[in-house]
């Protein structure tokens, strides 16, 4: 009986494998080459977590490319909502360089702020006076882009002094002391004078 059952199961398996398959339509997915097409490149975006969808940067809408593929992208492109949003999207599209200061410019601004705070600490100025000094530098050097961009109020001045200048000079002093054979330390505990 077991041989009969095995033979019958084998016949069922072979007959099911020989039966004609119903071909399923292949699932449509987003294709990266669509991003290189001029008509789509400015607004089309891939949805990272779902390859069956695409996103319009102009309309801020996500739509399916599952069933129609590239024609779904075309349908979205010719829709009235997309056309209207593209008008304002093209008008308001600026390059990032207009909004972000280049690194070397930021470095110059940061260096100027650190020098300003160092000067204030060296001469015993309060953190509150740093804002006044920064305003003065902006008005004196009005043509300088660095001076225009400099801002250094009491909170920022304290942060620069405690988090940047303090650790740097502490490290310098420890390094210099480790090289010295002899050194002395004197402390003025009086509160008279500077």
pLDDT at 97: 47
Element (H, E) at 182: none
DSSP conformation letters of 95-141: -GGGTS--HHHHHHHHHHHHHHHHHHHHTT--HHHHHHHHHHHHHHT
Report pLDDT digits (tens) over 163-189. 999 999 899 889 888 888 888 888 877
**Whether 131 contacts 152, CB under 8 Å:** yes
Structure tokens at 42: 């400015």
CB 133 within 8 A of CB 125: yes
Query: Which residues of the chain register pLDDT less than 70?
Result: 1-27, 90-103, 193-194
The tens digit of pLDDT for each residue in 112-132 reads 899 889 989 888 889 888 888
- For residue 159, the model assigns a pLDDT of 92
The residue behind tokens 């530098």 is 137
Task: For CA atoms 27, 29, 33, 38, give the dihedral sign.
Answer: positive
Closest CA relative to residue 42, chosen from 61, 56, 29, 30: 56
Assessment of whether the complete model's pTM goes beyond 0.85: no
Contact between 150 and 116 under an 8 Å Cβ cutoff? The reply is yes
């Amino acid at each position: 009986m077991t041989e009969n059952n095995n033979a019958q199961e084998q016949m069922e398996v072979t007959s099911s494998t020989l039966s004609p398959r119903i071909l399923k339509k292949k699932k449509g997915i987003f294709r990266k080459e669509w991003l290189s097409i001029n008509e789509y490149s400015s607004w089309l975006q891939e949805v990272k977590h779902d390859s069956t969808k695409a996103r319009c940067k102009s309309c801020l809408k996500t739509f399916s490319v599952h069933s129609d593929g590239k024609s779904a992208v075309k349908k979205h492109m010719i829709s009235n909502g997309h056309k209207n949003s593209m008008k304002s999207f093209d008008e308001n599209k600026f390059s990032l360089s207009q909004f972000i200061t280049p690194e070397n410019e930021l470095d110059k601004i940061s260096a100027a702020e650190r020098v300003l705070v160092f000067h204030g600490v060296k001469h015993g100025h309060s953190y509150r006076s740093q804002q006044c000094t920064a305003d003065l530098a902006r008005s004196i050097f009005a043509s300088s882009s660095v001076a225009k961009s400099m801002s250094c109020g009491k909170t920022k001045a304290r942060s620069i002094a405690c988090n940047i200048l303090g650790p740097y000079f502490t490290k310098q002093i420890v390094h210099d002391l480790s090289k010295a054979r002899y050194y002395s330390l004197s402390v003025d505990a009086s509160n008279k004078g500077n």
